[in-house]
Amino acid sequence: PEWLKCALKYIIAEKVGAQAWVDLINMWVELERRLGFPSPDSMDLAHRLGKKNRPEEVSVWIRNGRPYNKPPEIFSVTEYADYWQKWWTALQPAWRSDRGEDWPLSRDLKEAIGERWPGVAKGGKNGFHMIIVTLLWW
């Protein structure tokens, strides 16, 4: 889809060269494929990330039409990172986030067997795409 091509053009242009980043992008594209490339205009909540603790800068960027060439101004990187971390934690399945304020979150995949990731397994421009774009801002 066209929105995905535009997103990839922006994400690749940022030249974050770490292999972990490249792997993340490849897994995200595979997630979009498995979800059937949801329409970017979908208002279906099934394709939207939750807003709890989402940094205000994300809302500003969305209200401004999501211009890749003009990310929002981040006045306090520390505050942005704190809200971003809380937002990410709020999107996690209970087995991963029920540990209070522990960071980093559990990476114990034995706990993940048979579990679903409903908070983050979201496609389209309102889904996991937002996680990737907002990571680039700091």
**Tokens representing residue 50 in the block:** 């939750």
- Cα four-point dihedral sign 106, 109, 115, 118: positive
Question: Quick one: what percent of the chain has pLDDT higher than 90?
Answer: 59
User: Average pLDDT for residues 117-135, to the nearest whole number?
Assistant: 91
Per-residue pLDDT of 89-120, as tens digits, reads: 999 887 776 666 577 777 776 666 667 777 88
Per-residue pLDDT of 7-18, as tens digits, reads: 999 998 877 778
Q: Rg of the chain over CA atoms, in angstroms?
A: 15
Looking at residue 46, the DSSP 8-state letter turns out to be G
Whole-structure pTM value: 0.85
Q: Is the pLDDT at 37 greater than 70, yes or no?
A: yes
Question: Quick one: what percent of the chain has pLDDT higher than 70?
Answer: 88
pLDDT attached to residue 73: 96
Whole-number mean pLDDT of the chain?
87
Distance CA 108, CA 113 (A): 10
pLDDT attached to residue 104: 77
